[in-house]
Amino acid sequence: MEHNVLFYCVKCEQLKTLEQAGVVFRTGYFRNLYPLGCCVACGNVSR
Ligand SMILES: [Zn+2]
């Protein structure tokens, strides 16, 4: 069940909860379980 609230940040290269997600990509999955995305912290330093 916990898998549903996790995503994989491609910048941190870590699993994080969706609460911390800035962007979640719908195009790919990490280990076929976790959606790929980018957390808020990474988004804030994207420049
Ligand atoms: Zn991140």
5-36: pLDDT as tens digits: 999 999 999 999 999 999 999 889 999 989 99
**Listed residues: CB within 5 A of ion ligand 1:** 9, 11-12, 39, 42
5 Cα–ligand 1 center, Å: 15
Half-sphere exposure of 27 (CA within 13 A, CB side): 3
Q: Using an 8 Å Cβ cutoff, are 37 and 8 in contact?
A: yes
The predicted structure's pLDDT at residue 26: 86
Q: What is the DSSP letter of 4?
A: G
